[in-house]
């Protein structure tokens, strides 16, 4: 694991974020920060509000209270496409891929923010429009190589097995060249080998591109191995925050996982 020297300043933080759906309180006054280049894990029992937290971080849900700070700018309400424009990308627990498109097209869709030619040029497919298609295709092919999915690039994503779909989801997020990558249970439903592959990919992304990673994960082994710091949520509240070792020894965390009433 690379040393703490590479970890930079706070790049993303939430203060006192509260989120409710009707009567259900998903998050209650949660605050934590994320430093540049680090791998931050969010863990907690089921229903703790982890996915909701991620959704708040990139603007899919709007919290009733609290603020989000990204690179010094403060937001109470952020549209998810604004978050994307600012450099936050994510993957989904249930793989929100575009089922009607091929793997290649899905990942190319991730390049969308960088493609700027106007409608007319696209319709004529000349000059800048044509060059753009080829340039971005090259970038996407490098990502495909990186995630080792070359054989599937022309297939419709709906036909791929679950593990490969998750990789395409990751590829699409990477195509956005994000500075912060939010991963929602990237290893759910995978066997040991697939998990090892995915771990390797995530660490490589963090190493080679310096991308800050925030991930939700249930596998404690993975969390302890790859994360720099960990946030623990339970029933929508933060009950632990620190390095993996600190959190492992935290009594409140142990109680939450063992189901001790509090």
Partner 1 sequence: MRKNWPVILLGAVLLTGLVLPLATGASPPGFYIEVLLGGLMAGVLYSLVALGFALIFKASGVFNFAQGAMVLFAALAVARLAERMPLWAAMLLALAIMVVLAWLIERLVLRPLVNQEGVALLMATLGVTYFLDGFGQTVWGSDIYSIELGIAKEPVMVLEKLFQGGILVNKEDFVAAVVAAALVLGLALFFQKTATGRALRAVADDHQAAQSVGIPLNRIWVIVWSVAGLVALVAGVIWGSKLGVQFSLSQVALKALPVVILGGFTSVTGAVIGGLIIGVGEKMAEVFLSPILVKTFDLAGGGIENWFAYVLALLFLLVRPEGLFGEKHIDRV
Partner 2 sequence: MLYRENGQFKSTYSSDQQMLPILQDRVLMGALLVAAFVAVPLLISDYVFLSLLIPFLILTLAAIGLNLLVGYCGQISIGHAAFMAVGAYAAYNLSQRIPQLNFLVVLVLAGLIAAAAGILFGLPSLRIKGLYLAVATLAAQFFMDWLFARVKWFTNYSPSGSVSPPAIELFGWVIDSPPEKYVFLLGVLVVFTLLAKNLVRAHIGREWMAMRDMDVAAEVIGIRPVYAKLTAFAVSSFYVGVAGALWGFVHLGSWEPLAFNLNLSLNLLFMIIIGGMGSLLGSYFGAAFIVALPILLNQVPAWLGMPISTEMASHLEFMIFGALIVLFLIVEPHGLARLWAIGKEKLRLWPFPH
By a kind-dependent CB cut-off of 5 to 8 A, residue 155 interacts, out of partner 1, partner 2, none, with none
Among 7, 60, 155, 203, binds partner 1 (CB under 8 A): 60
Q: For residues 140 and 69, give the distance between their C-alpha atoms in angstroms, rounded to a whole number.
A: 30
Identify any residues that bridge with 154 across adjacent strands, giving them in sequence order: none
Identify any residues that bridge with 41 across adjacent strands, giving them in sequence order: 215, 230
The answer for residues whose C-beta is within 8 angstroms of residue 210's C-beta and 6 or more apart is 6, 36, 37
134 binds partner 2 (CB under 8 A): yes
Smallest separation (angstroms) from partner 1 to the CB of 213: 20
What angle separates helix 192-209 from helix 162-175, to the nearest 10 degrees?
A: 10
By a kind-dependent CB cut-off of 5 to 8 A, residue 97 interacts, out of partner 1, partner 2, none, with partner 2
Q: 240 vs 8, 84, 112, CA distance in Å?
A: 22, 29, 38
Nearer Cβ to partner 2, position 143 or 176?
Answer: 176
Q: For residues 11 and 77, give the distance between their C-alpha atoms in angstroms, rounded to a whole number.
A: 18
Contact 86, 31 (CB under 8 A): no
- Stretch of residues binding partner 2 (CB under 8 A), selected from 20-28, 66-74, 133-141, 231-239: 133-141
The answer for residues whose C-beta is within 8 angstroms of residue 129's C-beta and 6 or more apart is 117, 121, 122
- Check residue 85 and report its DSSP letter: H
Smallest separation (angstroms) from partner 2 to the CB of 100: 5
By a kind-dependent CB cut-off of 5 to 8 A, residue 211 interacts, out of partner 2, partner 1, none, with none
Among 3, 23, 123, 259, binds partner 2 (CB under 8 A): 123
Q: For residues 262 and 255, give the distance between their C-alpha atoms in angstroms, rounded to a whole number.
A: 8
2 binds partner 2 (CB under 8 A): no
Smallest separation (angstroms) from partner 1 to the CB of 59: 11
Interacting residues with partner 1 between 14 and 53 (CB under 8 A): 21-22
Among 30, 32, 49, 61, binds partner 1 (CB under 8 A): 61
Nearer Cβ to partner 1, position 61 or 152?
Answer: 61
Q: Taking the CA atoms of 215, 165, 171 and 73 in sequence, report the sign of the dihedral they define.
A: negative
Residue 174, H or E segment = helix 162-175
- Stretch of residues binding partner 2 (CB under 8 A), selected from 30-38, 117-125, 189-197, 218-226: 117-125
Residues that bind partner 2 (CB under 8 A): 58, 60, 79-81, 83-85, 89-90, 92, 96-101, 105, 108-113, 115, 117, 119, 122-125, 129-130, 132-134, 137-138, 141, 172-173, 176
């Amino acid at each position: 694991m690379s040393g703490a020297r590479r970890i930079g300043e706070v790049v993303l933080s939430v203060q006192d974020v509260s989120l409710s759906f009707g009567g259900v309180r998903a998050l209650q006054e949660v605050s934590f920060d994320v430093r540049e280049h680090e791998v931050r894990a969010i863990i907690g029992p089921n229903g703790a509000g982890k996915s909701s937290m991620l959704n708040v971080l990139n603007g899919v849900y709007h919290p009733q209270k609290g603020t989000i700070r990204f690179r010094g700018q403060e937001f109470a309400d952020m549209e998810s496409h604004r978050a994307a424009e600012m450099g936050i990308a994510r993957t989904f627990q249930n793989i929100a891929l575009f089922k009607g498109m091929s793997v290649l097209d899905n990942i190319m869709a991730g390049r969308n923010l960088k493609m700027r030619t106007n409608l007319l040029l696209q319709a004529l497919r000349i000059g800048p429009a044509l060059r753009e298609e080829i340039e971005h295709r090259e970038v996407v092919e490098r990502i495909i190589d990186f995630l080792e999915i070359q054989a599937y690039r022309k297939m419709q994503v709906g036909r791929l097995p679950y593990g490969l779909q998750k990789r395409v989801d990751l590829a699409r997020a990477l195509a956005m060249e994000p500075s912060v990558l939010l991963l929602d249970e990237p290893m759910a439903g995978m066997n040991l080998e697939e998990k090892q592959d995915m771990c390797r990919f995530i660490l490589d992304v963090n190493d080679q591109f310096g991308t800050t990673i925030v991930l939700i994960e249930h596998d404690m082994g993975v969390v302890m191995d790859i994360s720099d710091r960990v946030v623990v949520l339970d029933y929508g509240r933060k009950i632990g925050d620190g390095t993996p070792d600190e959190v492992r020894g935290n009594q409140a965390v142990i109680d939450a996982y063992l189901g001790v009433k509090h």
